[in-house]
A and B are shown apart, each in its own frame.
Chain A
Amino acid sequence: MVKRLSVVDSNRCTGCQSCMFACSRRFGSGGLANAAIHVKSVGGMEHGFVVVVCRACASPPCAKVCPVDALSVRTGGGVRLDNSKCIGCGLCAKSCPYGAILWNKEENKPIICVYCGYCANYCPHDVIALEELEAKML
Chain B
Amino acid sequence: MIEKDSLKNILYLDLTRKRFWIDERRDLFEEYLGGVGVASKLLIEECPQGADPLSPENVIVFAVGPLNGLFPLASKTVSCFKSPLTKNYGESHAGGRSSIAIRLAGYGAIVIKGASDYPVYISVHGKNVNFRDASALWGVRSSITVGRVLRNVEEGAGIRTIMRIGGAGENLVSYASVNTETYRHFGRLGLGAVFGSKKLKALVISGKTTVPVSDKRLYREVYDKIYDAAAKSPVMKKYHDLGTASNINPLNVMRALPTKNLKESYFDSAERISGEYLAEKYLGRRTACAHCPVACIHLAALREPYANEPYFYKTTMTSYDYELLYSLGSMLGVDDTEAVLKLINEVEMWGLDAMMVGTVLSWITEAFERGIINEDQTMGLKLKWGVYDEYAKAIRYIVTQPNDFYKIAAKGLQSLVEQYGGDSFALTYGGNGMPGYHTGPAAHLTYITGARHSHLDSAGYSLDQEGLKKGLPSVKELATNLYLEESWRQILSSLVVCFFSRGLYTPQLVSEALKVAGFGLTEGDLNNLGKKILKNKNKFKNQEGFNILELKFPRRIFELPTPHGMLEEGRLKEAVDEYRSLLNNS
The residue on B at minimum CB distance from A11 is B285
The residue on A at minimum CB distance from B74 is A30
Tell yes or no: A38 within 8 A of B by CB. Answer: yes
Measured in the bound complex, the distance between the Cα atoms of B416 and A12 in whole Å is 46
The residue on A at minimum CB distance from B223 is A25
Measured in the bound complex, the distance between the Cα atoms of B288 and A94 in whole Å is 30
Given the known interface contacts A25-B220, A29-B213, A41-B158, the answer about A15 and B208 at a Cβ–Cβ threshold of 8 Å is no
Residues of A within 8 A of B (CB): 14-18, 21, 24-25, 28-35, 38-41, 43-46, 48-49, 105-106, 122, 124-125
- Name B219's contact: one of A28, A46, A125 (CB within 8 Å): A28
Measured in the bound complex, the distance between the Cα atoms of B317 and A30 in whole Å is 33
Cβ–Cβ contact A16 & B220, under 8 A: no
Cβ–Cβ contact B210 & A29, under 8 A: yes
Measured in the bound complex, the distance between the Cα atoms of B100 and A18 in whole Å is 12
Cβ–Cβ contact B287 & A30, under 8 A: no
Cβ–Cβ contact A33 & B210, under 8 A: yes
Name 18 interchain pairs, CB-CB below 8 A, sorted by A. Answer: A14-B287, A14-B288, A14-B295, A16-B288, A16-B291, A16-B292, A16-B295, A17-B100, A18-B291, A28-B216, A29-B210, A30-B71, A30-B211, A31-B208, A31-B211, A33-B208, A40-B157, A46-B299
Cβ–Cβ contact A18 & B72, under 8 A: yes
Measured in the bound complex, the distance between the Cα atoms of B183 and A122 in whole Å is 24
The residue on A at minimum CB distance from B208 is A32
The residue on B at minimum CB distance from A103 is B208
Cβ–Cβ contact B210 & A106, under 8 A: yes
- Name B148's contact: one of A16, A29, A44, A106 (CB within 8 Å): A44
- Name A25's contact: one of B219, B287, B289, B293 (CB within 8 Å): B219
- Name B220's contact: one of A24, A28, A40 (CB within 8 Å): A28
Q: Does more than half of chain A's interface fall in helix, strand or loop, or is it mixed?
A: loop
A7 CB to nearest chain B CB (Å): 15
Cβ–Cβ contact B216 & A106, under 8 A: no
A74 CB to nearest chain B CB (Å): 26
Measured in the bound complex, the distance between the Cα atoms of B227 and A35 in whole Å is 18
Chain A residue numbers with a CB within 8 Å of B297 are 14
Chain A residue numbers with a CB within 8 Å of B227 are 18, 122
A19 CB to nearest chain B CB (Å): 10
Cβ–Cβ contact A16 & B290, under 8 A: yes
Cβ–Cβ contact B212 & A44, under 8 A: no
Most buried by B among A32, A34, A49, A105: A32
A111 CB to nearest chain B CB (Å): 10
Measured in the bound complex, the distance between the Cα atoms of B100 and A32 in whole Å is 9
Chain A residue numbers with a CB within 8 Å of B126 are 105
Measured in the bound complex, the distance between the Cα atoms of B126 and A21 in whole Å is 18
Chain A residue numbers with a CB within 8 Å of B533 are none
Measured in the bound complex, the distance between the Cα atoms of B289 and A29 in whole Å is 21
| 19 new A-B contacts at CB < 8 Å, known A15-B288, A16-B293 | A14-B297, A16-B294, A17-B290, A25-B219, A28-B217, A28-B220, A31-B70, A31-B104, A33-B208, A33-B210, A34-B210, A41-B157, A44-B182, A46-B285, A46-B299, A46-B317, A105-B126, A106-B209, A124-B295
Chain A residue numbers with a CB within 8 Å of B182 are 44-46
Measured in the bound complex, the distance between the Cα atoms of B220 and A130 in whole Å is 21
Chain A residue numbers with a CB within 8 Å of B210 are 24, 29-31, 33-34, 106
A43 CB to nearest chain B CB (Å): 7
Cβ–Cβ contact B291 & A124, under 8 A: no
B226 CB to nearest chain A CB (Å): 11
Measured in the bound complex, the distance between the Cα atoms of B297 and A31 in whole Å is 23
* CB-CB nearest 3 A-B residue pairs: A40-B158, A28-B216, A30-B211
Cβ–Cβ contact B69 & A31, under 8 A: yes
Measured in the bound complex, the distance between the Cα atoms of B151 and A18 in whole Å is 22
- Name A39's contact: one of B103, B151, B158, B219 (CB within 8 Å): B158
Given the known interface contacts A14-B286, A44-B148, the answer about A32 and B295 at a Cβ–Cβ threshold of 8 Å is no
Cβ–Cβ contact B285 & A48, under 8 A: yes
Measured in the bound complex, the distance between the Cα atoms of B209 and A34 in whole Å is 9
Measured in the bound complex, the distance between the Cα atoms of B286 and A40 in whole Å is 14
Cβ–Cβ contact A124 & B209, under 8 A: no
Measured in the bound complex, the distance between the Cα atoms of B157 and A38 in whole Å is 10
Measured in the bound complex, the distance between the Cα atoms of B151 and A43 in whole Å is 8
Cβ–Cβ contact A30 & B183, under 8 A: no
B5-49 to A contact mask, C-beta < 8 Å, 1/0: 000000000000000000000000000000000000000000000
- Name B212's contact: one of A21, A30, A38, A45 (CB within 8 Å): A30
Chain A residue numbers with a CB within 8 Å of B289 are 16
Chain A residue numbers with a CB within 8 Å of B70 are 30-31
Given the known interface contacts A14-B286, A40-B158, A46-B285, the answer about A124 and B231 at a Cβ–Cβ threshold of 8 Å is yes
Tell yes or no: B441 within 8 A of A by CB. Answer: no
B102-128 to A contact mask, C-beta < 8 Å, 1/0: 011000000000000000000000100
Measured in the bound complex, the distance between the Cα atoms of B317 and A12 in whole Å is 17
Cβ–Cβ contact B216 & A17, under 8 A: no
B202 CB to nearest chain A CB (Å): 15
A50 CB to nearest chain B CB (Å): 9
Chain A residue numbers with a CB within 8 Å of B209 are 31-33, 106
B67 CB to nearest chain A CB (Å): 9
The residue on A at minimum CB distance from B318 is A46
Cβ–Cβ contact B219 & A30, under 8 A: yes
Tell yes or no: B431 within 8 A of A by CB. Answer: no
Measured in the bound complex, the distance between the Cα atoms of B415 and A85 in whole Å is 69
Measured in the bound complex, the distance between the Cα atoms of B35 and A103 in whole Å is 29
Chain B residue numbers with a CB within 8 Å of A16 are 288-295
Chain A residue numbers with a CB within 8 Å of B287 are 14-15, 45, 49
Measured in the bound complex, the distance between the Cα atoms of B317 and A43 in whole Å is 14
Cβ–Cβ contact A18 & B220, under 8 A: no
B366-394 to A contact mask, C-beta < 8 Å, 1/0: 00000000000000000000000000000
The residue on A at minimum CB distance from B285 is A48
Chain A residue numbers with a CB within 8 Å of B52 are none
Chain B residue numbers with a CB within 8 Å of A15 are 287-288, 290, 295
B39 CB to nearest chain A CB (Å): 21
Q: Among residues 285 to 313 in chain B, which have CB atoms less than 8 Å away from a CB atom of chain A?
A: 285-295, 297, 299
Chain B residue numbers with a CB within 8 Å of A35 are 208
Measured in the bound complex, the distance between the Cα atoms of B223 and A28 in whole Å is 11
Tell yes or no: B140 within 8 A of A by CB. Answer: no
Measured in the bound complex, the distance between the Cα atoms of B211 and A138 in whole Å is 37
Cβ–Cβ contact A18 & B293, under 8 A: yes
Chain B residue numbers with a CB within 8 Å of A24 are 210
The residue on B at minimum CB distance from A24 is B210
Tell yes or no: B159 within 8 A of A by CB. Answer: yes
B184 CB to nearest chain A CB (Å): 9
Measured in the bound complex, the distance between the Cα atoms of B176 and A37 in whole Å is 37
